[in-house]
Amino acid sequence: MSNRMESGREGMRFTDEFRDPAKAKSLVSAIRAVLDEIGATAGNPVHVMEICGGHTHAIFRYGIDRMLGPGIEFLHGPGCPVCVLPMSRVDDCLEIAEREEVIFATFGDAMRVPGTRGSLADAKARGADVRMVYSPLDALELARRNPDREVVFFGLGFETTMPSTALTVLQAAREGIGNFSLFCNHILVPPPIRALLQDPDMRIDGFIGPGHVSMVTGIHIYDFIAEEFGRPVTVSGFEPIDLMQSVLMVLEDIRDGTPRIRNQYARVVPEHGNRAALAAIDRVFTPREAFDWRGLGEIDRSGVKIRPEFAPWDAEEKFGVGYAAGKSSGREPEGCMCGEVVKGMMKPTECPMFGTLCTPENPMGALMVSSEGACAAYHLYAGLRPEEVVS
């Protein structure tokens, strides 16, 4: 493969070039050839985990898994922030949102995630003032316009969304807006990947690294995966040709026994990340001792909290909920296999509730709610054929 193709930057410029059927066919042949060289078969496939839920959806949307045959098995990692949010944190949201003085502002994909007392949408139906916003700055504007109310923004997401939340807290502090606060559920990618690699039951041969997270962090947050665990990572874009190039790059490294951190998405991802965004994150947030993940349990230093100097804008401190109240974990619904799916140890279709008790219209678990959830991807794209997908 040429450097032009590897970078994904100079070789192709327009969206349709990233969906070119001729390029896709040639990549499929190259990938199958490397799988043959590795000796991968249906009974002994190579296991590649895509960390990001956006990649899971792209793989299914474009039928990439079916094009590549049974020699490779994709494992769907924990990179969908809504999917790994434990029910206890949804309960905390409701506890805040149901206060009379509160306007609770959230992104739309978190509205229907079930907690033990229902979802934010249920709370809204019961009378809570829950509003959908498109950015944390929208929530800050709500606070400016409603000085007699407490506006709480539900901060959720990986390193991708942390800079905009951090900048909003800084703006609130600068303007002295005291009726705005953040319910912080921001989490970090490396700790759960380390936890998965330390699990003796897991078999992961290589990773497709998340594109949007890496745009903020750069690619060196994954160095430990190659150096300590001997697994390759290729940070990938989201178009079908991006993903096929990335799969090929990971498989080449597996074949050659040369674990490396490579950047297929160099047209967007700078090697060392976005320094201004990282500085904003560091200014406002500090790691929590531990954070609870749906299906993975508590993982050390896997989430962040607001630094003490910004405590007036910390909803947990202001309302005495969540970790500030000594609560951390909660139970999952009976029969829910979300945890096993998040760990890549079970396919969504193996969950007894898939497509029956649990559907996108009536989700039991977060993986069916989120637009990036693995169960939603299986449900949405199950009927597509490979030949339909890259034309």
Q: Which is nearer to ligand SF4, 244 or 351 (CB)?
A: 351
Position among 73, 365, 372, 390 found at the interface with ligand SF4 (CB under 6 A): 365
Binder among 27, 94, 277, 336 for ligand SF4 (CB under 6 A): 336
What is the C-alpha to C-alpha distance for residues 267 and 142, in angstroms, rounded to an integer? Answer: 36
**Taking CB under 6 A as the rule, does residue 351 contact ligand SF4?**
yes
By C-alpha distance, which of 128, 154, 104, 82 is closest to 365?
82
- Residue 341 contacts ligand SF4 per CB under 6 A: yes
Nearest C-alpha neighbor of 92 from the set 110, 67, 68 = 110
Bridge-partner residues for 358, per DSSP? 354
Residue with CB nearest ligand SF4? 365
- Using the rule CB under 6 A, which residue among 52, 348, 372, 389 binds ligand SF4? 348
**C-beta of 179 vs 370, nearer to ligand SF4:** 370
Q: Least distance from C-beta 104 to ligand SF4, angstroms?
A: 24
Pick the stretch among 29-37, 99-107, 186-194, 348-356 that binds ligand SF4 (CB under 6 A): 348-356
Nearest-angstrom CA–CA distance, 375 and 113: 13
The full DSSP string for 12-81 is --SGGGGG-HHHHHHHHHHHHHHHHHHT--SSS-EEEEEEEHHHHHHHHHTTHHHHH-TTEEEEEEEE-T
Q: Which is nearer to ligand SF4, 56 or 165 (CB)?
A: 56
Q: Is 4 exposed, middle or buried (0-12, 13-18, 19+ CB in 10 A)?
A: exposed
- Report the nearest approach of ligand SF4 to the CB of residue 354 (Å): 4
Q: Is 85 in the site for ligand SF4 (CB under 6 A)?
A: no
Q: Which of 375, 377, 389, 390 binds ligand SF4 (CB under 6 A)?
A: 375
H or E, element range at 107: none
CA 377 to CA 389: how far, in whole Å? 15
Q: Which of 19/89 has CB closer to ligand SF4?
A: 89
Total site size for ligand SF4, rule CB under 6 A: 14
358 binds ligand SF4 (CB under 6 A): yes
- Computed on alpha carbons and rounded to an integer, the radius of gyration of the chain in Å comes to 21
Residue 315 binds to ligand SF4 (criterion: CB under 6 A): no
Residue 387 burial (CB < 10 Å; 0-12/13-18/19+)? exposed
338 binds ligand SF4 (CB under 6 A): yes
368 binds ligand SF4 (CB under 6 A): yes
Instruction: Extract the runs of DSSP E, i.e. beta strands, from the chain.
Output: 46-52, 72-79, 102-106, 130-132, 150-157, 180-186, 206-209, 233-235, 261-263, 285-287, 290-293, 297-300, 304-306
Q: CA dist 370 to 116, 119, 229, Å? A: 18, 13, 30
Q: Which is closer to ligand SF4, CB of 315 or CB of 367?
A: 367
Question: How does DSSP assign 282-296, residue by residue?
Answer: HHHEEE-SEEEETTT
At closest approach, how far in Å is the CB of 54 from ligand SF4?
17
Kind of pairing between the strands at 304-306 and 285-287: antiparallel
C-beta of 201 vs 334, nearer to ligand SF4: 334
- Burial pattern 131-143, b for ≥16 Cβ within 10 A else e, equals eebeebbbbbbbb
Which one of 41-49, 123-131, 274-282, 347-355 is the stretch in contact with ligand SF4 (CB under 6 A)? 347-355
- By CB under 6 A, which span of 27-35, 55-63, 189-197, 357-365 interacts with ligand SF4? 357-365
Residue 337 near ligand SF4 by CB under 6 A: yes
- Of 72 and 341, CB closest to ligand SF4: 341
Instruction: Name the one range near ligand SF4 by CB under 6 A: 31-39, 126-134, 284-292, 349-357.
Output: 349-357
Q: Give the binding range for ligand SF4 (CB under 6 A) out of 39-47, 53-61, 218-226, 351-359.
A: 351-359
Burial class (CB in 10 A: 0-12, 13-18, 19+), 346: middle
The sheet carrying 150-157 orders its strands as: 130-132, 102-106, 150-157, 180-186
- The correct pick among 243, 367, 377, 390 for binding ligand SF4 (CB under 6 A) is 367
Task: Determine which residue in the list 207, 354, 377, 390 makes contact with ligand SF4, applying CB under 6 A.
Answer: 354
Interface contacts to ligand SF4, rule CB under 6 A: 336-338, 341, 348, 351, 353-354, 358, 364-365, 367-368, 375
